[in-house]
């Protein structure tokens, strides 16, 4: 049985590295400053949690674990950060890998329906339209869940998180052309899947 490393991710008090820029926080993490990790977590944990939730379809407790694992991985990887992308993009790339490893190690793929159920429903005129909207939302969630991990990661980063393809390429450590191809394949697969539903 392995022992887990516990690192406090929340800042305590109003002193410390909170005033530093993202790159300086990563550099401080790189030399082992846990307060910098806490400040980085405070700034970016919501974006990472949203991304992880959309990518994995995990429940709240699992999302919290994946976010925690992402920041621990970032803490370990900080000495190798070279500033080739925005810190948020770098963190989302790490989160993508954490989710991939989690899915492989647990042998399961969860539905992304939770991500869409948290979106406020659009007001509808009739109960039939409401049922139709719910069915479409569920169909979209199933279609995204059916995508292979690489296509799903690109689709979520580009189309749901609205990151530029160049940043997604840096985050996933693939050529930009690969991102464009995967995005195209993901969109085509989703159109085909949703076309069959209608």
Beta strands in 58-170 (DSSP E): none
The pLDDT, as a whole number, for residue 28 is: 92
User: Domain residue spans in the chain?
Assistant: 17-197
> To 5 degrees, how large is the angle CA 107–CA 112–CA 114?
120
The pLDDT, as a whole number, for residue 108 is: 38
Cβ atoms of 151 and 126 within 8 Å: the answer is: no
Q: Over 70: is that where the pLDDT of 10 sits?
A: no
Residue with the larger pLDDT of the pair 88 and 135: 88
Confidence band (pLDDT; 50, 70, 90) for 109? very low
Residue with the larger pLDDT of the pair 19 and 82: 82
Q: Over 80: is that where the pLDDT of 117 sits?
A: no
The closest of 176, 179, 181, 175 to 154, measured between CA atoms, is 179
Average pLDDT in the chain: 77
Q: Over 70: is that where the pLDDT of 110 sits?
A: no
pLDDT in tens, 71-90: 989 999 999 998 888 999 99
Q: Over 80: is that where the pLDDT of 98 sits?
A: yes
pLDDT in tens, 118-133: 444 445 455 555 566 7
The closest of 5, 103, 122, 125 to 52, measured between CA atoms, is 103
Q: Over 90: is that where the pLDDT of 25 sits?
A: yes
Residue with the larger pLDDT of the pair 128 and 5: 128
The pLDDT, as a whole number, for residue 127 is: 57
> pTM to 2 decimals?
0.58
Q: Over 70: is that where the pLDDT of 197 sits?
A: no
pLDDT in tens, 155-170: 888 888 888 877 888 8
Q: Does domain 17-197 have CATH number 1.10.1740.10?
A: yes
- Alpha carbon of 33 to those of 13, 22, 38, 84, 87: distances in Å? 16, 14, 9, 22, 17
């Amino acid at each position: 049985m392995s022992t887990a490393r516990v690192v406090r991710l929340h800042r305590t008090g109003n002193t410390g590295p909170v005033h530093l820029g993202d790159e300086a926080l990563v550099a401080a993490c790189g030399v082992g400053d846990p307060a910098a990790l806490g400040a980085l977590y405070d700034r970016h944990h919501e974006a990472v949690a949203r991304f992880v939730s959309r990518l994995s379809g995990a429940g709240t407790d699992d999302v919290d674990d994946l976010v925690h694992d992402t920041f621990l991985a970032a803490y370990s990887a900080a000495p190798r950060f070279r500033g080739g992308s925005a810190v948020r993009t770098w963190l989302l790339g790490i989160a993508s890998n954490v989710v991939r490893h989690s899915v492989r190690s647990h042998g399961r793929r969860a539905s992304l329906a939770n991500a869409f159920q948290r979106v406020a429903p659009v007001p509808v005129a009739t109960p039939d339209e409401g049922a139709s909207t719910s069915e479409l939302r569920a169909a979209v969630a199933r279609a995204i869940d059916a995508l292979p991990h690489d296509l799903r990661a690109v689709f979520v980063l580009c189309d749901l998180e609205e990151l530029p393809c160049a940043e997604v390429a840096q985050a996933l450590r693939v050529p930009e052309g690969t991102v464009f191809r995967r995005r195209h394949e993901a969109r085509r697969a989703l159109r085909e899947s949703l076309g069959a539903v209608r």
